[in-house]
């Protein structure tokens, strides 16, 4: 199988190059993102392998189909960046449903600890021998209430960590888990009663802007919010207004609504033209990272292994356990 691999970073090759050879695949690595302007590079390949900030719209689906491309291999669990309905009967879409739930959950709690206890600011201060504690006071997580939105594998891992901090757990998911170590409540109640809200749900039409002006208005004063899932779960304009109003104790964002073309790239020598992102960076109680919650050795190895296992199953007519179709929406 010939695979065109897009949005390549050096760390991708560490695992995909040797594993690809083991499977006998011919992988061509491209640094550029997969989009309408680069789709011609997919000509002559059996599959394209894309990441979270690439996209495939209906027009591109048809183009790929006419090129003879058989499959879209996603290096992610989410598939909101692909027009799944348009691909029905034309392209096989295969994803990585789970790679390291603990990696994302551990990162989420790390972000909260950082933004709550200001360890990033303390580090910068002490490097200059400024040992003042003024402006660095946080709050205990012990006995606070954590609201977990989405109780898949990552949400469950987050619950286990929060339990370790002695937190009470409220959870929301339209598909409850009977064995969950927590109490399911309506979303409105979770937003109103939680001291910490952590988002771990996929981006769908129903969850887009699940955090909006109304939900923010009903949150506790001083609430902490962390999003390690998908940027568009949060209405950025509403979030900024809430920050200006002093609603939040702290906000941790590993994802951003308009991150495409910005995250995973070095923009330090450029003027940031995304005004909302630039504004978010000005708040002292906001921590933004570049969609790196998944980024551990274990997760990267699992992503490579499952992605190539998906390709092998397709090539050899084996069951496609990780196929995405219209029923997945």
pLDDT in tens, 264-287: 999 999 999 999 999 999 999 999
pLDDT of residue 163: 98
Is 95 a catalytic site residue?
no
Helix, strand or coil, per DSSP, at residue 15: helix
Q: In which band, very low, low, confident or very high, does the pLDDT at 2 lie, cut at 50, 70 and 90?
A: very high
Continuous segment of H or E residues that includes residue 292: none
Q: Can you read off the two tokens belonging to residue 307? A: 């992605």
Q: Kindly list the structural domains of the chain, giving each domain's residue range(s) and its CATH number in brackets, ordered by start.
A: 2-99+296-328 (3.40.50.720), 101-288 (3.40.50.720)
- Pick the closest to residue 287 from 163, 160, 139, 109 (CA basis): 109
Mean pLDDT score of the chain: 97
* Non-local CB neighbours of 259 within 8 Å, separated by 6+ positions: 53, 231, 290, 291
pLDDT tens-digit readout, 251-270: 999 999 999 999 999 999 99
| pLDDT confidence bin for 319, thresholds 50/70/90 | very high
- State the pLDDT at residue 329: 63
Give the Å distances, CA to CA, from 134 to 110, 138, 243, 282, 284: 22, 11, 21, 19, 13
pLDDT digits (tens, 9 = 90+) for 187-240: 999 999 999 999 999 999 999 999 999 999 999 999 999 999 999 999 999 999
User: What are the tens digits of pLDDT across the range 143-170?
Assistant: 999 999 999 999 999 999 999 999 999 9
What is the tens place of the pLDDT at every residue in 292-316? 999 999 999 999 999 999 999 999 9
Contacts of 101 (CB under 8 A, 6+ apart): 152, 153, 154, 156, 157
Q: Please state the pTM of the whole predicted model.
A: 0.94
Q: Which of 75, 81, 230, 257 is catalytic?
A: 230
Digit-coded pLDDT (tens) for 15-67:
999 999 999 999 999 999 999 999 999 999 999 999 999 999 999 999 999 99
Q: Does 75 qualify as catalytic in the annotation?
A: no
Among 160, 291, 301, 315, the active-site one is 291
Q: Is 301 a catalytic residue?
A: no
Are the C-beta atoms of 5 and 49 separated by less than 8 Å? Answer: yes
Burial label for 6, CB within 10 Å (0-12, 13-18, 19+), is buried
* SS3 category, 11: helix
Q: What percent of the chain stands above pLDDT 70?
A: 100
Helix pair 101-117, 119-127: axis angle to 10 deg: 60
Q: What is the pLDDT of residue 267?
A: 96
pLDDT value at 89 more than 90: yes
| Cβ atoms of residues 13 and 54 within 8 Å | no
| 11-16 average pLDDT score | 97
Question: Which position among 106, 259, 298, 327 bears the catalytic label?
Answer: 259
Residue 327's pLDDT band, with cuts at 50, 70 and 90, is confident
Q: What is the DSSP string of 24-59?
A: T-EEEE--SPPSTTTGGGGTT-SEEEE-TT--B-HH
Position 13 scores a pLDDT of 97
């Amino acid at each position: 199988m010939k695979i065109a691999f897009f949005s390549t970073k050096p760390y991708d090759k560490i695992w995909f190059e040797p594993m690809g050879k083991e499977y006998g695949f011919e992988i061509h690595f491209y640094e550029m993102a997969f989009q309408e302007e680069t789709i011609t590079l997919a000509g002559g390949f059996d599959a394209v392998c894309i990441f979270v900030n690439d996209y495939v719209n209906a027009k591109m689906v048809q183009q790929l189909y006419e090129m003879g491309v058989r499959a879209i291999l996603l290096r992610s669990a989410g598939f909101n960046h692909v027009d799944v309905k348009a691909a029905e009967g034309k392209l096989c879409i295969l994803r990585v449903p789970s790679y390291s739930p603990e990696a994302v959950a551990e990162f989420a709690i790390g972000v909260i600890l950082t933004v709550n206890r200001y360890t990033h600011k303390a580090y910068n201060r002490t490097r200059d021998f400024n040992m003042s504690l003024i402006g660095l006071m946080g709050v205990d997580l012990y006995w606070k209430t954590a609201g977990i939105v989405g109780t898949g594998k990552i949400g469950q891992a987050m619950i286990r960590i929060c339990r370790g901090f002695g937190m009470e757990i409220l959870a929301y998911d339209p598909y409850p888990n009977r064995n969950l170590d927590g109490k399911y409540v309506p979303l409105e109640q979770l937003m109103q009663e939680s001291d910490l809200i952590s988002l771990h749900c996929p981006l769908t039409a129903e969850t887009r802007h699940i955090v909006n002006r109304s939900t923010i208005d009903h949150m506790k004063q001083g609430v902490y919010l962390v999003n390690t899932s998908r940027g568009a779960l949060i209405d950025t304009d509403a979030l900024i207004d809430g920050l200006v109003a002093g609603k939040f104790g702290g906000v941790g964002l590993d994802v951003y609504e308009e991150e495409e073309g910005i995250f995973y790239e070095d923009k330090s020598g450029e003027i940031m033209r995304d005004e909302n992102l630039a504004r978010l960076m000005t708040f002292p109680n906001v921590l933004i990272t570049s969609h790196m919650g998944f980024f551990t050795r274990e997760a990267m190895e699992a992503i490579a292994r499952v992605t190539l296992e998906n390709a092998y199953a397709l090539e050899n007519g084996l069951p496609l356990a990780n196929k995405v179709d219209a029923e997945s929406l």
